Amino acid sequence: MNPQFQLFPEQASATAVHLDHLTLYLLGVAAFFSTLIFALIFVFAVKYRRRSAHERVGEIGHALPLEIAWSVIPFGLMMIMFTWGASVFFEMSRPPDDAMNIYVVGKQWMWKTQHLEGQREINELHVPLGRPVRLTMTSEDVIHSFYMPAFRVKFDVVPGKYTTAWFNPTKPGKYHLFCAEYCGTLHSGMIGWIEVLEPAEYERWLAGGNAGESLASSGQKLFEYLACANCHRTDKPGRCPNLTGLFGSKVQLTTGETVTADEAYVRESILHPGAKIVAGYQDIMPTFQGQVTEEDLLQLIEYIKSLAKQPAQGATALGAIPPGLARRGTTLPPAAPAKNPKR
Amino acid sequence: MAEHIVTKKQYSFVFGALLLLTFVTTAVGMMDLGRLNVVVALVIAVIKAMLVVLFFMHIYWSTKLTRVVVVSGLAWLALLLWLTLTDVLSRGWLGFPGK
Amino acid sequence: MANHSLALRHQFDDVEQQKDASTLGMWLFLATEVLFFGGMFCCYTVYRSAYPAAFGQASNHLNLILGAVSTAILIISSFTMACAVNSAATGAKNALVAFLSLTILFAAAFLVIEMSEWRMLYQEGLMPGFNFTYKEIDPAHVQLFFCMYFSMTGLHASHVTIGIVILTVMAIRAWRGAFSPAYYTPIEISGLYWHFVDLVWIFLFPLYYLIARHLQG
Amino acid sequence: MITATVETKDSYLTHEYGVRSWLLTQDHKRIALLYLAAISFFFFLGGIFATVIRLELLTPPGDLVSSQTYNKLFTLHGVIMVFLFLIPSIPATLGNFLVPLMIGAKDLAFPKLNLLSWYVLMAGGVCVLYAMLEGGVDTGWTFYVPFSTSYANTYVILTGVGIFITGFSSILTGLNFIVTIHRMRAPGLTWFRLPLFIWSIYATSIIQVLGTPVIAVTMLLVAVERGFHLGIFDPALGGDPVLFQHLFWFYSHPAVYIMVLPGMGIISEIVSVYSRKKVFGYHFVAFSSVAIAVLGFLVWGHHMFVASQSVYASLIFSFLSFFVAVPSAIKVFNWTATLYKGSISYETPMLYAFGFIGLFTIGGLTGTFLAALGFDVHVTDTYFVVAHFHYIMVGGTLMAYLGGLHYWWPKMTGRMYPEGWAKLSALVVFLGFNLTFFPQFIMGYLGMPRRYHAYPEEFQVYHVLSTAGASVLAVGYLIPAVYFIWSLRYGKIAPANPWNASGLEWQTTSPPPPENFDVTPVVTREAYDYSILEEMKVG
């Protein structure tokens, strides 16, 4: 599969094909202009070589139409590059709705991947053929970059936030996974393999081996273990917002702003609870920084996501705050009925 | 125009205005005007800065070249802020983390 | 005429050219300085737009009165500096020395106030890297506010200190009679530098002391 | 005007003797030679690192040096080549020597500041060298946070301070040039009679003055954050590592133009002289330099398409990036058109100029590839990028620098270099360069990430080719080093104007007297007017 001498990388996704078409256009433009320049230089250099010390030179100082032509024509060609490049980029940036989600955590110097079904891998990723895969990625330490040349996919994995990449494998096989952002001593050892399996084979792989419980249920256990459920109750009004139906909804904050409860929001709420406080609630939640790992966070997020898919149980929580909990230094508007959860 | 000597009297007027504006901006800072606080504070700061640049630093009487230098310094700063904020403020517009 | 031909350096044709060159050089240096502080202003803007509530929270730990007073003091020093330039241009040597000394004095007073504010923040446990014990709302981003506060006021304070050194040298030279209405470019460009230091503070004051006060979450 | 006097005149080289006369000189020509000595040292030091890197990459496993050492090697190669060689290279040596001469001035506006700039560069260099001797630094020349602030265990602060200091050298040099070009031109030397080298140096100085302070303050923040354990960029404390990248590239992208713009100026001079024609489209070439300097500040985000910058910002940066390509293309076309109906001779500087135009064309075109969003996603942080920027920085800047050094060597030293050897070395450099870096384009598109100590076997073919090329290239750089030094003593005595050029710098003796000109020249013609030389010869 990997010949010792190749000029073009493997094309294992539809995006790869689209990108390679763009590449051909770019190469065509480059070939045309470099050939033109090289040929002109060569021809002029030979034809007008100096034959005597006093020969007359042609006096052409400038020519406006020529200047305009060689400014406008390359610019036109470059605007095609821009538009084409942007359209491929949008394709790369927008995972389809039906994509299966896989979580990736980078750390010095390994890749940890988690399937929703619970399988975890290190420096490997098994995916089924023909199904779009969406990666939600973060890093435990420094910036890494998840790079799969065969799919033409690369995106930085940044500590403190989530990033997204996606691909749709169209060819079974084993492909390189690289870290493309320099991350320290063993940067070149932070490599692995992506294995694209036939769907049936993938199901077999999922069923066997280290399959544990699903990410969401690991998250639920963690939720209970960390005693989150003491305040974030789903059965009756609690001191903290009800998390049912939270994920993906709009949340009104005490500052009057509205934010969408996405992965980043949930993550920030667990680590920096005071940063965004839901209208109608107090800043009473302790930080969990240092107590949960990035992988734990992803499990918690998956659990909270799973709550969003279930119909909300019981009535929406009413945010009544015991007066004793009001804390010095926080000025909050009078408690209002909160439809939205908080941290 | 070899030299334009600004008199102490002219300086005194500018000085008075600057002190007054400092007082006003502090007083307004103590009131809660919501979003207006930012606007007022920055507008007053810009007015004060202009007074200093124009009169204390003699830009009002200076050559075109000096003005170009001043404007470029500020324009480049605006560039840095503008293009950085282009990214920071538009994060997440596509609806996917990191996009 | 003999007086200032001594001050003419060999690479210039005449005094006018030399003065123009020095002034232009100083302005270019100030343009550099704008971008030098600009990097930090950019960080401030990004973080303030991201965490307005924490910035409001943190801003309330600064002493507004001290901030306003130090602003006024810097403006006074700018005024005395402008008067120094005027005295140099009119050849009033004693007034020049006096105004330069006053400027130095006010600059020193500014530093004293600033150091006392830093000391108070240190004691309150609000100095990241040295003593940061803040545990209330959103400590991480309050920390960020104080990181930016100390970086920017620290950089500004170092400029004030350099300014004091420059002005001291100028005052000594003026006292020895180095300047005349025909040649006082060094005074003029030191003045430009000093006004720039004032300008930076004119923006630091509202950004840290004023505009975030009422934004707490 | 063309003085052919044989009498031995007082020159800046013989005016004074002794180490003190050099180390305390305020003569821009002597300071230029101080820079030349310093940056030559840094170039060969950086070159040694490059050699070890290429040798390590000969085989797929990391077997020659440890990965930690390898990381330090490419970091120091980058830091030294970028901050201590390329950025000071053309402006501080050739620019320093030529700006006053070309505009008919006695010196730069601020000679003391000029000397100070050299000492500041040396101070920064000493910091970096000390960090290197103490154990080096392994963050990459980009110092990305949070690796540099929280995870690296090497001498980050010392190196960062070194870069902070060298930044001021660059700022002061640029400031000096701008003031000099504005205020000290000879009578009659209007803006549109200036040599194009002056235009390009002017444009470069704009970037130095307005861009460098931002990298300085960024390195300062990194040092402060690391030194005091603050959280300015640290995501664990709410900071934003991508903000660091914005600040870093705000300078470091325009820095590429600090490197290549002066090179373009040199090429304009050389192409004109050896084809005995005015530069085609003088105004376009002149304004394109300023346009590149300004537009260069609008495009830094194209280094961050996959860095989790917003898609919208990426679109804007990509769009703006294509605008920089237009003035670059204008220059290439105008140089080519200058050759048309010229009277072309092939002295060494002209060979380097041909090399520059060819390699810059490839470097520039691949640059537009990288500005195209989708394409960049695949090749960023791979060898494709490595190849691209070496085509610009080595194929462009270094070729121009060597061409300029040959062209003005007679003026600087009063001696001719050996033409035969020089032509040979130009050829060796060109071939060696292409063999080294062209395979890296292919390797990059295949997916070989940069900064890899060990790599999968399928890339070995290209690495072997690249290493072979690097050894040829090393020979190509050593030959000039030898014959330049040789020529100082044994080279033919140079006449005042060996190339029959028209610039003011050729109208004084070689080497020039300490005050540059016996009489301040008065300019009455446009640049590159060779007819006057012909008239004088015939008449």
Q: Please indicate whether, in this complex, the C-beta atoms of B97 and A264 are within 8 angstroms of each other.
A: yes
**pLDDT given for residue C4 in this prediction:** 44
Segment C45-74 shows an average pLDDT of 92
- Residues of chain C contacting D213 with CB distance shorter than 8 Å: 32-33, 35-36, 38-39
B67 and B55 in a single domain? The answer is: no
Residues B53 and B86 occupy one common structural domain: no
Locate the chain B residue with the closest alpha carbon to D206. B72
Residues of the domain holding B35:
1-61
D452 interfacial to chain A (CB closer than 8 Å): yes
Alpha-carbon distance C62 to nearest alpha carbon in chain A (angstroms) = 14
Nearest to D217 among C40, C128, C148 (CB): C40
Q: Same domain, yes or no, for B45 and B5?
A: yes
Question: Do D209 and C32 lie within an 8 Å CB cutoff?
Answer: yes
User: For position A332, what pLDDT does the model report?
Assistant: 35
- pLDDT, residue A337, reads 36
- Look-up: residue for tokens 């124009």? B54
* Confidence at B1, pLDDT banded by 50, 70, 90: very low
Ranking A119-128, B7-16, C4-13, D468-477 by mean pLDDT, the lowest is C4-13
Residue C120: pLDDT over 70: yes
**With 80 as the cut, is the pLDDT of residue C165 above it?**
yes
Exposed, middle or buried: residue C5 (CB in 10 Å: 0-12, 13-18, 19+)? exposed
Residues B49 and B71 in one domain: no
Q: Report CB contact under 8 Å: A274, C216.
A: no
* Residues of chain B found within 8 Å of residue A164, distances taken between Cβ atoms: 96-99
**Residue A243, helix vs strand vs coil:** coil
Decide: D325 and A81 in contact? Cβ < 8 Å.
no
Question: CB of C115 within 8 Å of any CB in chain B?
Answer: no
d(CA D288, CA C141): 45
Q: Which pLDDT value is given to residue A209?
A: 66
pLDDT for D89 beyond 80: yes
Q: Choose among B57, B74, B76: nearest Cβ to C195.
A: B57
Say if the Cβ atoms of C35 and B73 lie within 8 Å: yes
Kindly state the percentage of chain C with pLDDT values over 90: 76
- Neighbouring CB atoms inside 10 A of D287's CB total 15
Cα→Cα distances C177→C88, C164, C184, Å? 11, 20, 11
- Does D307 contact A at CB distance below 8 Å? yes
3-state DSSP call for residue A240?
coil
pLDDT of residue A214: 85
For residues D355 and D267, the answer to whether their CB atoms sit within 8 Å is no
Question: Given an 8 Å threshold on Cβ–Cβ distance, is C78 in contact with B6?
Answer: no
DSSP 8-state secondary structure symbol assigned to residue D234:
-
Q: What pLDDT is recorded for position A215?
A: 86
Residue with the bigger pLDDT between D192 and D16: it is D192
Q: Is the predicted pLDDT of residue B99 greater than 90, yes or no? A: no
- Best of C17, C147, C196 to mutate (most D CBs within 10 Å, chain D): C147
**Does B99 fall in a domain?**
no
Residue D280's pLDDT is what? Answer: 92
Q: Model confidence over D8-44: pLDDT tens digits?
A: 568 999 888 899 999 999 999 999 999 999 999 999 9
Residue B8 lies in a domain: yes
Domain with residue D153: its CATH number is 1.20.210.10
Chain B contact present for D238, CB below 8 A = no
A195 phi and psi, to 5 degrees? -110, 120
Average pLDDT over residues C112-139: 91
Residue of B nearest to C24 (CA): B66
Q: Show the domain range for D138.
A: 25-538
CATH second-level architecture of A100-207? Sandwich (2.60)
Q: What is the C-alpha to C-alpha distance for residues C5 and A283, in angstroms, rounded to an integer? A: 72
Mean pLDDT over A145-163 rounds to 95
- CB-based contact (8 Å) between B90 and chain D? yes
Q: How do residues D199-222 score in pLDDT, each as one tens digit?
A: 999 999 999 999 999 999 999 999
Runs of H (alpha helix) within D65-194: 67-79, 87-88, 96-103, 111-134, 156-183
- Does residue B97 fall inside a structural domain? no
Determine the Cα–Cα distance for residues A243 and A251; give it in Å rounded to an integer: 11
Number of helical H runs and strand E runs in chain B: 3, 0
Angle between helices C139-175 and C52-59 (to 10 degrees): 60
- Residues A215-230 have pLDDT tens digits of 888 888 888 888 888 8
* Count of C-beta atoms within a 10 Å radius of residue D188: 12
- Look at residue D8 and tell me if it is in a domain: no
Q: Is residue D292 part of a domain?
A: yes
Q: Does residue D66 have a pLDDT over 90? A: yes
Using a CB-CB cut-off of 8 Å, the residues of chain D touching B90 are 310-313
Contacts of A187 in chain D (CB under 8 A): 67, 71, 451-453
Q: Is residue D15 part of a domain?
A: no
CB within 8 Å: B93 and D312: yes
- Nearest-CA distance from B99 to chain D in Å? 5
Q: Please indicate if any CB of chain B lies within 8 Å of the CB of C44.
A: no
Which residues in chain A belong to E strands, given as ranges? 100-107, 110-115, 120-122, 124-128, 133-139, 144-148, 153-157, 163-167, 173-179, 192-197, 250-252, 258-260
A268 in contact with C, Cβ within 8 Å? no
Q: Is residue D103 part of a domain?
A: yes
DSSP alpha helices (H): ranges in D372-398? Answer: 373-379, 383-392
Q: What is the mean pLDDT of residues A79-107?
A: 94
Chain B closest CA to D75's CA: distance in Å? 27
**Which residues, at least 6 apart from D83, have a Cβ–Cβ distance to it below 8 Å?**
D124, D128, D141, D162, D163, D166
Residue C126, classed as helix, strand or coil, is strand
- What band does D5 get if pLDDT is binned at 50, 70 and 90? very low
Distance from CA of C79 to the nearest CA of D (A): 28
Preceding omega of D511 cis (within 30 degrees of 0): yes
| pLDDT score for C176 | 94
Contact B11 C86 (CB under 8 A): yes
Closest chain B residue by Cα to residue C35: B77
Q: How high does pLDDT run on average in chain B?
A: 90
CATH number of A227-325: 1.10.1040.10, 1.10.760.10, 3.40.50.300, 3.40.920.10? 1.10.760.10
pLDDT of res. C217: 44
Q: Is A319 left (phi over 0), alpha (psi -120 to 50) or beta?
A: beta
Chains in contact with B via at least 3 Cβ–Cβ pairs below 8 Å: A, C, D
**Could you give the CA distance from residue A158 to residue D477 in angstroms, rounded to a whole number?**
41
Evaluate whether A16 touches A152 at the Cβ level (below 8 Å): yes
Counting other chains too, the contacts that B88-92 makes at CB distance below 8 Å and 24 or more residues apart are B88/C46, B88/C49, B88/C50, B88/D240, B88/D243, B88/D310, B89/C49, B90/D310, B90/D311, B90/D312, B90/D313, B91/D308, B91/D309, B91/D310, B92/A260, B92/A262, B92/A264, B92/D310
Q: Is D376 on the interface with A (CB under 8 A)?
A: yes
- Is B73 a domain residue? yes
Number of domains forming the structure of chain D: 1
- Which of B73, B80, B86 has the CB atom closest to D214's CB atom? B80
The mean pLDDT of chain A is 84
**What is this structure's pTM?**
0.92
Nearest by CB to C141, which of A275, A327, A329? Answer: A275
Angle in degrees, CA D165, D170, D171, rounded to 5 = 95
D11 falls within a domain: no
Interchain proximity A275–C51, CB inside 8 Å: yes
Q: A70-74, B30-34, C210-214, D300-304 — which one is most confidently predicted on average?
A: D300-304
- Residues from chain B that touch C16, judged by Cβ atoms under 8 A, are 2
Is the minimum CB–CB distance between C163 and chain D shorter than 8 Å? no
Report the pLDDT averaged over residues C34-43. 96
Q: Phi, psi at residue D128, to the nearest 5°?
A: -65, -45
Mean pLDDT of D82-88: 96
pLDDT digits (tens, 9 = 90+) for D41-57: 999 999 999 999 999 99
A25 residue type, one letter? Y
Quote the percentage of chain A above a pLDDT of 70.
86
> Within an 8 Å CB–CB cutoff, is residue C38 touching chain B?
yes
Task: Give the H or E element holding residue C127.
Answer: strand C126-127
Residue D4 pLDDT > 50? no
The pLDDT assigned to A334 comes to 36
CB contact under 8 A, A331 and C216: yes
Whether B85 is in a domain gets the answer yes
For residue range D214-262, list pLDDT tens digits in order: 999 999 999 999 999 888 998 888 889 999 999 999 999 999 999 999 9
- Both B50 and B76 in one domain: the answer is no
**Mean pLDDT of all residues in A294-314:** 76
Domain boundaries along the sequence of chain A: 100-207, 227-325
Regarding whether B2 and B38 lie in a shared domain, the answer is yes
Residues B5 and B52 in one domain: yes
Please report whether residue D471 resides in a domain.
Answer: yes
**pLDDT for A329 beyond 90:** no
Give how far B92 is from chain C: nearest CA, Å: 13
CA C144 to chain centre: 23
Q: Which domains are delineated in chain C?
A: 27-210 (1.20.120.80)
CB pairs under 8 A between B and D: 53
Contact A44 D361 (CB under 8 A): no
The residue-averaged pLDDT of D519-531 equals 88
Among A325-339, B21-35, C107-121, D438-452, the range scoring the smallest mean pLDDT is: A325-339
Answer whether C21 sits within 8 Å of D109, measured CB to CB. yes
A86 to chain D: which residues are within 8 Å by CB?
Answer: 315, 318, 373-374
Q: What is the pLDDT of residue A318?
A: 35
Residue D378 · residue A19 · CB < 8 Å: yes
Pairs across A and D, CB distance < 8 A: 283
pLDDT attached to residue C136: 80
CA A110/CA A97 separation, integer angstroms: 29
**CB–CB of A103/A171 below 8 Å?**
no
Residues of chain A with Cβ-Cβ distance to B97 below 8 Å are 136, 161-164, 262-264
User: How far is Cα A121 from Cα A113, in angstroms, rounded to an integer?
Assistant: 5
Q: Flag if B66 and C38 touch (Cβ within 8 Å).
A: no
- Interface contact flag, B72 D210, Cβ < 8 Å: yes
Torsional class of A209: left (φ above 0), alpha (ψ -120 to 50), beta (otherwise): left
C-alpha triplet D387, D389, D391: angle, nearest 5°: 70
Chain D contacts of C151, Cβ < 8 Å?
A: 221, 224, 232
Q: How far is CA D474 from CA A104, D351, D416, in A?
A: 43, 18, 23
Residues B56 and B76 occupy one common structural domain: no
Q: For residues D392 and D28, what is the distance between their CA atoms, to the nearest angstrom?
A: 28
> C-alpha distances in angstroms, C28 versus B65, C8, D410?
11, 21, 34
For D306-322, how does the pLDDT look when each residue is reduced to its tens digit (9 = 90+)?
999 999 999 999 999 99
Using the beta-carbon criterion (under 8 Å), do A81 and D368 form an inter-chain contact? yes
A327 pLDDT tier (thresholds 50, 70, 90): very low
The pLDDT assigned to C216 comes to 52
B51 and B72 together in one domain: no
ipTM of the complex: 0.91
The pLDDT of A330-340, averaged and rounded, is 36
d(CA D342, CA D262): 24
Question: What b/e string do you get for A95-104 counting C-beta neighbours within 10 Å, with b at 16 or more?
Answer: beeebebbbb
pLDDT of residue C1: 36
Chain B residue with the nearest C-alpha to that of A134: B96
- Please give the mean pLDDT across all residues of chain D: 93
Residue A293 has pLDDT above 50, yes or no: yes
Name the CA dihedral angle for D226, D232, D235, D238, rounded to a multiple of 10 degrees: 140
Q: Which chains border C (3 or more CB–CB pairs < 8 Å)?
A: A, B, D
Please say whether the beta carbons of D520 and D186 come within 8 A. Answer: yes
3-state secondary structure of D120: helix
Question: Does residue D52 fall inside a structural domain?
Answer: yes
**Chain B contact present for C169, CB below 8 A:** no
What is the per-residue pLDDT for A247?
86
Identify from A161, A252, A255, A288 which residue to disrupt to test chain C contact, counting C C-beta atoms within 10 A and taking the largest count: A255
Cα four-point dihedral sign A118, A122, A128, A133 = positive
Residue A222 burial (CB < 10 Å; 0-12/13-18/19+)? Answer: middle
Look at residue C56 in the predicted model and tell me its pLDDT: 87
**How many domains, in total, are found in chain B?**
2
Residue C122 pLDDT: 95
What average pLDDT score do residues D180-184 get? Answer: 95
Res D444 pLDDT > 60: yes
* In contact, D379 and D475? CB cutoff 8 Å: no
> What pLDDT is attached to residue C215?
64
Chain B residues contacting A via beta carbons under 8 Å? 92, 94, 96-99
Q: What is the mean pLDDT of residues B45-66?
A: 93
- Flag whether pLDDT at D416 surpasses 70: yes
